[in-house]
């Protein structure tokens, strides 16, 4: 590796190519909580898109696998390497252009999600996608997973806000698709193919993002219910009454048991389900919508509360970690079902866990029918981890039976690869697209496809 390392150091600078030791953070992502640990021959941190292209060209010539890495917050092991080279985008974190009056922004892929959102906010604008772990995740990682988040209910997922991409494709070419335009149908839509491709087709180096004026007010409301059925009925009533909530989240009773102590307002003792909704718009609009939400959510509720927005969302951001802390580890999935099957999927999660001797809980983006179904395990308990994998298989079968999909947000990565239930034609198309863009199969091998 010494000669190879010197080659790479010549491209990116001596300090920016190194052999990682076993404890390197570049070898794990959020799946560390389920015991996933990778290994790599080198980690490379290019400082520009041109350097990314040069590194990819070097790898393509020598048939070295390339694992693109953003902030390492992924829950599917997509950024975990199993040999080859980790290409981390950390140093590509510049704003290339920003036109607040035109509501558009061009940033490099390594910019943190939180910084993108903050820059927009400081200029009276909003970049709506808000996956958790925004302090650590990168915009390139959000694009590569087509990340969602609570406000995807009203505003859609990351891809809806990307008007153009710059990417390095095989065998090391810097290519642009779209740009600072709001429409473009002058070619096949390769931009959308790259969005959500989990680093299997190339490396995103920059993106043009669409922004909107920030709503004047955001007013959350939270309602507790005794049962899953009562809570899901309330959630469906919000949808059915045509109320445009900005977010429509849920947490089940087990999640409340582990995370409820820090909820900004007291949790009723017999609460078995929580619905969080948010109204936004002008001050008057947000007040009106929250009033309508309050009327509908009150039906069958134990209590309805209006915590301060910052406190509520800070708490919601910490739910995943609070649940993980209960046993030290967790196997957390992200199935999605038609919204009218949500109650069945919430109950099935608990039943599947019980069948495998595991405590199971779920929370998630209820309005989108997207559950973070989670099996609690101790991180070093191999038997429990194996049971959780079997439980996940049953969960995936349930999601498909209910008319949904095994992944609404996190992608397939390595943890869900081969479990999506593709029909043969779908599989054939996926494999053909991969072969067209990555003939040597070097971009994130053995992930997703």
Whether the CB-CB separation of 168 and 123 falls below 8 Å is answered with: no
Shortest distance, position 227 Cβ to ligand FAD, whole Å:
25
198 in contact with ligand FAD (CB under 6 A): yes
User: Interacting stretch for ligand FAD, rule CB under 6 A, among 115-123, 126-134, 287-295, 393-401?
Assistant: 126-134
The C-alpha atoms of residue 320 and residue 431 are separated, in whole angstroms, by 34
333 in contact with ligand FAD (CB under 6 A): no
Whether the CB-CB separation of 83 and 40 falls below 8 Å is answered with: yes
Shortest distance, position 365 Cβ to ligand FAD, whole Å:
7
Whether the CB-CB separation of 367 and 293 falls below 8 Å is answered with: no
Token pair, residue 344, equals: 């069945």
Shortest distance, position 357 Cβ to ligand FAD, whole Å:
26
Query: Which residue, among 209, 246, 216, has the nearest Cα to 113 in the 3D structure?
Result: 209
415 in contact with ligand FAD (CB under 6 A): no
User: Interacting stretch for ligand FAD, rule CB under 6 A, among 70-78, 234-242, 278-286, 299-307?
Assistant: 70-78
> One symbol per residue from 127 to 146: x for binding ligand FAD (CB under 6 A), - otherwise; what is it?
----xxx---xx-xxx-xx-
147 in contact with ligand FAD (CB under 6 A): yes
Shortest distance, position 341 Cβ to ligand FAD, whole Å:
20
Coil/strand/helix, residue 362:
strand
Please give the residues from 212 up to 271 whose contact with ligand FAD meets the rule CB under 6 A.
none
- CB-count exposure of residue 367 (10 Å: 0-12, 13-18, 19+): buried
164 in contact with ligand FAD (CB under 6 A): no
- Which of 34, 69, 290, 316 binds ligand FAD (CB under 6 A)? It is 69
Query: Which residue, among 415, 249, 244, has the nearest Cα to 346 in the 3D structure?
Result: 249
404 in contact with ligand FAD (CB under 6 A): no
Give 72-104 as a 3 state SS string. CCCCCCCCCCECCEEEECCCCCCEEEEEHHHCE
Whether the CB-CB separation of 67 and 79 falls below 8 Å is answered with: yes
Whether the CB-CB separation of 72 and 30 falls below 8 Å is answered with: yes
Please give the residues from 263 up to 292 whose contact with ligand FAD meets the rule CB under 6 A.
none
Shortest distance, position 10 Cβ to ligand FAD, whole Å:
23
Distances (CA, A) of 371 to 42, 72, 182, 319, 366: 36, 21, 32, 13, 7
Please give the residues from 336 up to 395 whose contact with ligand FAD meets the rule CB under 6 A.
none
70 in contact with ligand FAD (CB under 6 A): yes
DSSP sequence for 24-35: -GGG--GGGGGT
81 in contact with ligand FAD (CB under 6 A): no
109 in contact with ligand FAD (CB under 6 A): yes
Output 204 or 274, the one with its CB closest to ligand FAD: 204
Please give the residues from 16 up to 35 whose contact with ligand FAD meets the rule CB under 6 A.
29-30
Positions touching ligand FAD (CB under 6 A) are 29-30, 67-75, 78-79, 89, 109, 131-133, 137-138, 140-142, 144-145, 147-149, 198-199, 203-204, 320, 409-410, 413, 444, 447
């Amino acid at each position: 590796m010494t000669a190879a390392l010197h080659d790479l150091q010549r491209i990116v600078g001596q300090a920016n190519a190194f052999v990682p030791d076993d404890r390197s953070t570049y070898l794990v992502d959020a799946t560390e909580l389920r015991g996933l640990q990778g290994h790599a021959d080198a980690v490379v941190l290019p400082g520009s898109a041109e350097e990314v292209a040069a590194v990819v060209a070097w790898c393509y010539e020598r048939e070295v696998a390339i694992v693109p890495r953003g902030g390492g917050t992924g829950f599917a092991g997509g950024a975990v390497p199993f040999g080859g080279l980790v290409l981390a985008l950390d140093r590509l974190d510049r704003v290339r252009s920003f036109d607040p009056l035109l509501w558009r922004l061009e940033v490099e892929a390594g910019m943190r999600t939180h910084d993108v959102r903050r820059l927009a906010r400081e200029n009276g604008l909003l970049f709506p996608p808000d996956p958790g772990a925004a302090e650590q995740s990168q915009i390139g990682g959000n694009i590569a997973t087509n990340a969602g988040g609570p406000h995807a209910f009203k505003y859609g997922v990351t891809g809806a806000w990307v008007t153009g991409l710059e990417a390095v494709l095989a065998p090391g070419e810097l290519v642009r698709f779209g740009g600072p335009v709001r429409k473009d149908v002058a070619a096949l839509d390769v931009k959308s193919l790259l969005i959500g491709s989990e680093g299997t087709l190339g490396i995103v180096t920059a993106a043009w993002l669409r922004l909107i004026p920030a709503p004047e007010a955001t007013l959350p409301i939270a309602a507790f219910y005794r049962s899953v059925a009562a809570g899901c009925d309330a959630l469906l009533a919000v949808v059915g009454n045509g109320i445009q909530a900005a977010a429509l989240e849920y947490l089940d009773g087990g999640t409340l048991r582990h995370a409820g102590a820090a909820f900004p307002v007291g949790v009723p003792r017999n609460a078995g389900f929580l619905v969080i909704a948010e109204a936004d718009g002008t001050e008057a609009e947000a007040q009106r919508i929250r009033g309508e939400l309050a009327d509908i959510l009150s039906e069958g509720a134990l209590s309805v509360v209006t915590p301060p927005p910052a406190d509520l969302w800070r708490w919601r951001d910490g739910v995943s970690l609070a649940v993980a802390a209960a046993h030290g580890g967790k196997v957390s999935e992200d199935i999605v079902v038609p919204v009218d099957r949500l109650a069945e999927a919430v109950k099935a999660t608990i039943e599947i866990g019980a069948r495998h001797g595991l405590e199971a809980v779920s929370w998630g983006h209820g309005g989108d029918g997207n559950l973070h179904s989670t099996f609690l395990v101790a991180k070093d308990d191999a038997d429990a981890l194996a049971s959780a994998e079997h439980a996940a298989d049953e969960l995936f079968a349930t999601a498909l039976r209910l008319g949904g999909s095994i992944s609404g947000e996190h992608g397939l990565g390595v943890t869900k690869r081969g479990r999506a239930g593709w029909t043969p034609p779908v599989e054939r198309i996926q494999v053909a697209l991969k072969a067209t863009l990555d003939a040597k199969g070097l971009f994130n091998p053995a992930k997703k496809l």
